Every structure is written in C-alpha cells, then in structure tokens.
Structure 1
Amino acid sequence: MPPSPTRSSRQLSTIVHASPFVMAQRLMDMALATQPPSGRDQREWNRMFSEKGSAAVEAWWAMVNAMWLAPMSSSAWTLWPNPWQYWTGLAHAGDRILAEGLKPVARTVSANRTRLARRGSSRR
C-alpha cells in the first residue's frame, strides 16, 4: 500500500504544476513587452519581485513559528524539558514545519496561475 500523501507533498504538487505556467506566461509577457515597458508591464514585474520576497519572508517566519511550537505540541512536553525531548519533538514535526513554510509559496503560485490565466484569455 503506498504511503498517504502528506500536506507538504500536496503543496509541492501544487507548486510543481502551477509554476511552469506562471513562468512561461511571465517570460512571454517580457518578450512581448514594448520598449519602454508599459505601465501594465512595470506593475506586473514589480508585483512579481515583491511577491517573491514577501512569500519567502512569510515562509521563513511560518517555519520558525512551527519549529518554536513543535516541541510544545508533543505529549512529552513539561515545564522544564530536557534537550532530548525538544529535539525529538522537533524531529516528529518535520512535515508540519515544511508544510507551514510551503503554504505561502503554494498560495502565491496558485493565485498567480489563476490570475495570469484569466488575464491571458482576456488578451486574445
């Protein structure tokens, strides 16, 4: 019996399926851009760069928060835990930590795919 998919694997699947479309659409837009770039093109490029930065920072903070809270969610948590309990709890929470870090990236890529597909169909 194959293992059940984890939350992080579903998010990775979303990223893997949506990102090639987003990259192709944006590269095509860059190739077709006028010289000098129009206001629409400049807004899209600024959005692209700011979204990448904000998704990376949001992912980093989500992973730090999940790492911080992971040992506390284990049943072995006490008021004065020993280091072994901390690292054991952290090791068991690996998928949850990864999933929290992938969540903003998957959300951004999926939203961009939807938005760019809508915009691309209205352009024709």
Structure 2
Amino acid sequence: MTRRSHSTTQLSQVAYAAPFVIADRLLRFAMAGPNPSALDQREWQRMLDEKWTAAVQGSWAMSGAVWEAYCEAWFNAMSGAWTPWSMPSPADWWVRGAQSGERILSAGLAPVARTVSANRRRLARRKT
C-alpha cells in the first residue's frame, strides 16, 4: 500500500471544503442583492484579503522550500565531489528530486488548505 503524500492530503482538503465555501458565499451575496449588509460586505472583504494572504504566504513558503532543495542538492553534489565513493546513484537523485518537489508543493498548498478548511468550519458554525 502506498502512502499518500502530504500535498495530496492538502489538495483533498481543498477539494472537499472549497465547494461548500464558494456555495455559501455566493448564496449569501445573491440573497443580499444590490444592497449588501455590513456583514456581507465584511465577508466579501475577508474573502479578498484571505485570497491575497494565502497566495503571498504560499509563494514565500514555496520559494523557501526551493532554496532549501537547492542547498540540499548543492551540498550533496559537493560532498560527492570530495568523496566520489559516497556519490548517490542516479535513482537516488530522482527520488530526492521528487521528494523536494513534494516539499515545495506542500509548502505552497499549506496556507490555502488551512484557510479553506477554517472557512468551511466557520461558515458551517454560522448557519446553526
């Protein structure tokens, strides 16, 4: 049995929660019509702020993860240059590259998954 990657779990969280959040917000905005209440306007502004915040946090996290992957690859290449008998095989390079890609994607998805899941819980509580 294969282990699911962390980014797959995050994508599943987003895919599960996002339709509920979108439907709730669109219904609220449609019911408000041309005269939204102060609560509706705050929800709209919150939605816009959350999207920008998650995008910026995700891009910073991904750039940090790219830098870590670069440093790790450089260190591995340099340590192999000094001790060629400990140089990883090409298959090991592929595995390390895939793991680095997974860490980069997971770092970028974390703020989005966290925000969407929190909105799902918050909007579900508000209805009751």
Task: Assess same fold via TM > 0.5.
Answer: yes
Could you list the per-position Cα deviations for residues 59-114 of structure 1 after superposition, in whole angstroms to 9, with x for gaps in the alignment?
A: 011000100011323561548x9xxxxxx565540000000000000000000000
Equivalent in the alignment of 2:127: 120
Instruction: Give aligned-pair identity as a percent.
Output: 50
Normalising by structure 2, what TM-score? 0.79
- 3-state SS of 2:76 partner: coil
1:76 paired with 2:55, answer: no
Equivalent in the alignment of 2:87: none
Q: State the 1:32 CA deviation.
A: 1.0
Q: Is the 8 A contact 1:59 1:101 kept in 2?
A: yes
Gaps of 5+ in 2: 82-92
Give the ranges of 4+ consecutive aligned residues of structure 1 lying more than 2 Å apart after TM superposition: 71-75, 88-92
1:56 paired with 2:55, answer: yes
Inter-partner Cα distance in structure 1 for 2:8 and 2:47: 25
Inter-partner Cα distance in structure 2 for 1:110 and 1:45: 17
Q: Flag the 1:4–1:92 CA change in 2: closer, same or farther, 3 A.
A: closer
Q: Which has the larger radius of gyration?
A: 2
State how 1:82-121 maps to structure 2 within 5 Å.
Answer: 92-121=99-128
Q: State the 1:35 CA deviation.
A: 3.5
Counting helix residues as a fraction of each chain, which structure ranks higher? 2
Gaps of 5+ in 1: 82-87
Say what the alpha-carbon RMSD is for the aligned residues.
2.0
Q: Is the 8 A contact 1:71 1:77 kept in 2?
A: no
- 3-state SS of 1:36 partner: coil
Inter-partner Cα distance in structure 2 for 1:120 and 1:92: 41
> How many pairs align?
113
